[in-house]
Amino acid sequence: MRRVRSFFGGIHPHDAKKRTTGTPIRELPAPDTLVVPLRQHAGLEAKPVVAKGDEVLKGQLLAEAGGAISAPVHSPVSGKVRAIEPRAHESGRSVTAIVIENDHNDTWVETKGHPDPVQLDVKAILKGIKEAGIVGMGGAGFPTAVKLSPPKGTTIDYLLINGCECEPYLTSDDRLMVEHAEEIILGARLMAKVLGARSILVAVEDNKPEALASLRAKAGNIEVVSVPTKYPQGGEKQLIQALTGREVRSNGLPYQVGTVVQNVGTAWAVALALRDGKPLIARVVTVTGAAIGEPQNFMAPLGTTMEYLIEAAGGFAVTPEKVVVGGPMTGGAQFDLQAPVTKTTVGVVAFGEGESRTPDSSPCIKCARCVDVCPANLLPLKLEAFGMNERWDDAHDYGALDCIECGACTYICPAKRPLLQYIRFAKMEIIARDKKPS
Amino acid sequence: MDDLKLIVAPSPHIRDIDTTEKFMFGVVAALLPVMAASIYFFGWNAVRVLLLGAAGAIATEAIFQRLRKQPIRIGDGSALVTGLLVGLIVPPSLPSIMVVLGSVFAIAIGKQVFGGLGQNPFNPALVGRAILTASFAGAMTTWTKPFDVVTTATPLVVGEAASRVPDLFFGSVAGSLGETSALAIFLGGLYLFYRGYLDYRIPLGVFASVIVISLLTGQDPVFHLLAGSVLFGAVFMATDPVTSPITKPGRWIFGIGIGLFIMLIRIWGSYPEGVTFAILLMNAATPLINRWTRPRIYGQGVKTSE
């Protein structure tokens, strides 16, 4: 058995996963209109290769990668391009999107799969991943092909497949692991081949016994590791620390310590791309929260609006107080439910009254619970004070830029202080100041 | 779905259920055994001192918040805790006016002048006791025997020979209201630890250094632990989050430093008891300790190949 170490700090929030852990993934029929944003990933926007009025097939390229760090997007359905215009986006800003009118014929573009893609050479696998528009599906959206191409001469000891799903409420990765373990393992093998990784570790939090069993049944010689349930266990640097004992240098990247971390959803998408020749046009989305009628895990076409998703999950049982894309710890609150599902939409959480509290804050009593839970080993209460008093040098010195924005400090604070908000503020100011020519 | 009013706020969207109020009332709950013991041993005098201590602190807090045009937050329990602590660290026979003055000083000079909750560098209740000790030296060292109104000296003055360990443990000795019963203090400390409101490093640091220094100087460590304010100070005073270090190694240093100063004052100082000044001294050192013991940030100081 592998010795699983602990990362620094961490919290145990009420996870509310019961609502959907046992709910199988349901194929969500595509709506009449789909809104496909050109930005569904970290990096540059994709560049459209279709025009208004064009007929498109399901899986057809709509926009190509806009640069070295970017990813193409494909049509989730067959139909007609109705518009290319700014539309609501989960980021809160409008983003140019290709609006597709669904003809409901589901006519696929010609696909080229491979019965045993592990036989393909590294170049072909990498090309397949790139062309399928695959990005980190755990939420960060970093283009996978780029992450799989560390500088020449780098030795990768470990490919870590991240199935922790430490965010409360969400079960999309959990269900994917239960129902699609075979694809996840295949995707892991393909990525390991590209990296030349010496070993593959699949990490799953121990609150998902079904997922662990299902992966182990398909894993062969790949090690599936049960890790303690503790948020943010699935944080990239935290997972590396827990599984390998290695620490990524401040401002550094995992490959520098011989590791690459990929989400289970990403592995699944890689398998589909290479085995079936299918680009990334749908993903698992958990729709949950006390305000949702029938919480569900959907296989949702990218471009489906939040509103459509929520309707399909029984609509609102009660008036929602807050709707968040992503999980309750790191997700973004929405004001417009016309924002569509993207490659990084892990879930939609509609909170009922009182479920998502942002209580009034009172003075800090220096209990230092924020210090105890910080996975980056920072002093959040100090950073908050520096942020509030605009002491950017001190904030920088105390490691503001090393904050991973997991929110554990803010979660645990008994005085309900907006710690993370001030730390983000300090980070923005430090970065902006460093950019300014002196 | 068109006229939904959705709250837009930054993450995280869920919060732990623990609050400052729960923390403060948790401390009050932890003080119940010592309060009960003080009433058992000292009767109505204890009730009088505790009530006056609490009332004086809460009233002062309210008046200051009013004067400073701040929301009145006496419901958060922090003034109540300070008031009860003041009551528990004075002699049971202390005149009422002095008890109230102790609470007023604790809140006014110990806390509000620095900006109120969370801003004070020194433990407010100990500031109150220090001022009382300096102002009313006689009354502050007039002790009564439990179940009795006869005045007597504390074990620290009489010396260890006159005190039996079981008496010190259960509390049937002369002393401040809440400081005589080791058993009651231990129960309260256990509860605080169980609720996560107490870092064991601070009391253990105090105990360890008191024991080590006692042994080194040829004194009885059990007597030094159980007599006087060591237990109460280590469990309820030194662990005040506002005035103790925020880092774990810092808390060890803080506790050990308190024990060191207690023994220095007890052995070589002119006061028989040194807990108040030992804790206040280490309170003063807390910002420095925090600075010395900054944790190593994840990823900093790590060597990796480029």
CATH number, position A156: 3.40.50.11540
| Residue-range definition of the domain harbouring residue B159 | 21-290
**How many domains is chain A built from?**
2
Domain presence at residue A330? no
Tell me which chain B residue has its CA closest to the CA of residue A252: B299
Give Cβ neighbours of residue A11 (< 8 Å, ≥ 6 apart): A230, A231, A373, A408, A411, A412, B16
Instruction: Judge if A265 and A384 occupy the same domain.
Output: no
Tell me which chain A residue has its CA closest to the CA of residue B7: A322
What does the pLDDT read at residue B303? Answer: 63
Q: Nearest CB to B297: which of A250, A367, A414?
A: A250
Tell me which chain A residue has its CA closest to the CA of residue B239: A367
Domain presence at residue A264? yes
Instruction: Judge if A270 and A394 occupy the same domain.
Output: no
Please give, rounded to a whole number of angstroms, the shortest distance from the CA of B6 to a CA of chain A.
5
Judged by CB atoms closer than 8 Å, whether chains meet at A362 and B73 is answered as yes
Domain presence at residue A157? yes
Domain presence at residue B188? yes
What does the pLDDT read at residue B160? Answer: 56
Q: Which of A74-88, A95-109, B20-34, B156-170 has the lowest mean pLDDT?
A: B156-170
- Start-to-end C-alpha separation, chain A: 54
A252 touches chain B (CB under 8 A): yes
Residue B23: list chain A partners with CB under 8 A: 365, 367, 414
Domain presence at residue B6? no
pLDDT bin (cut points 50, 70, 90) of residue A358 is confident
Judged against a pLDDT cut of 90, whether residue A132 lies above it is answered with: yes
| CATH number, domain with residue B91 | 1.10.3430
Instruction: Judge if A265 and A140 occupy the same domain.
Output: yes
Q: Which positions of chain B have pLDDT values less than 70?
A: 1-2, 148-151, 153, 155, 157-163, 303-306
A237 touches chain B (CB under 8 A): yes
Q: In this predicted model, what pLDDT tens digit does every residue of A408-424 receive, in sequence order?
A: 999 999 999 999 999 99
**How many domains is chain B built from?**
1
What does the pLDDT read at residue B1? Answer: 54
Of A231, A259, A276, the residue at which a domain comes to its end is A276
Domain presence at residue B16? no
Domain presence at residue A241? yes
**Residue numbers of A between 99 and 158 with CB closer than 8 Å to B:** none
Domain presence at residue A15? no
What does the pLDDT read at residue B305? Answer: 47
Instruction: Judge if A134 and A251 occupy the same domain.
Output: yes
State how far Cα A214 lies from the chain centre: 22
Domain presence at residue B275? yes
Judged against a pLDDT cut of 80, whether residue A3 lies above it is answered with: no
Does the pTM surpass 0.90? The reply is: yes
Instruction: Judge if A376 and A261 occupy the same domain.
Output: no
The percentage of residues in chain A with a pLDDT greater than 90, rounded to a whole number, is 93
Determine contact, residues B122/B144, Cβ cutoff 8 Å.
no
Judged by CB atoms closer than 8 Å, whether chains meet at A420 and B12 is answered as yes
DSSP states of chain B as a string? -TT------PSP----S--HHHHHHHHHHHHHHHHHHHHHHHTHHHHHHHHHHHHHHHHHHHHHHHHTT----GGGSHHHHHHHHHHHTS-TT--HHHHHHHHHHHHHTTTGGGTSTTT-SS-HHHHHHHHHHHH-HHHHT-EE-TTS--EE--HHHH-GGG--HHHHHHT-SSSSTTTS-HHHHHHHHHHHHHHT---THHHHHHHHHHHHHHHHTT--HHHHHHSTTHHHIIIIITT-GGGS-SSHHHHHHHHHHHHHHHHHHHHHSSSS--HHHHHHHHHHHHHHHHHHTPPPPTTTT-----
Q: Nearest CB to B299: which of A237, A329, A359?
A: A237
Neighbours of B267 (CB within 10 A): 13
A358 touches chain B (CB under 8 A): yes
Domain presence at residue A73? no
**A275-308 burial, b if ≥16 CB within 10 A, otherwise e?**
bebbbbbbbbbbbbbbbbbebbbbbbbbbbbbbb
A198 touches chain B (CB under 8 A): no
Please give, rounded to a whole number of angstroms, the shortest distance from the CA of B194 to a CA of chain A.
15
What does the pLDDT read at residue A5? Answer: 81
Please give, rounded to a whole number of angstroms, the shortest distance from the CA of A250 to a CA of chain B.
4
DSSP states of B12-66 as a string? P----S--HHHHHHHHHHHHHHHHHHHHHHHTHHHHHHHHHHHHHHHHHHHHHHH
Question: Helix B20-42 vs helix B78-88: angle between axes, to the nearest 10 degrees?
Answer: 20
What does the pLDDT read at residue B163? Answer: 62
Of A252, A276, A300, the residue at which a domain comes to its end is A276
| Residue-range definition of the domain harbouring residue A147 | 113-276
Please give, rounded to a whole number of angstroms, the shortest distance from the CA of B229 to a CA of chain A.
23
Of A276, A298, A314, the residue at which a domain comes to its end is A276
Give Cβ neighbours of residue A238 (< 8 Å, ≥ 6 apart): A7, A8, A10, A232, A375, A404
What's the number of CA atoms in the CB half-sphere (13 Å) around residue A418? 13
Please give, rounded to a whole number of angstroms, the shortest distance from the CA of B18 to a CA of chain A.
5
Is residue A117 helix, strand or coil?
A: helix
Domain presence at residue B4? no
Q: Nearest CB to B246: which of A356, A376, A379?
A: A379
Domain presence at residue B11? no
Determine contact, residues B132/B101, Cβ cutoff 8 Å.
yes
Instruction: Judge if A146 and A251 occupy the same domain.
Output: yes
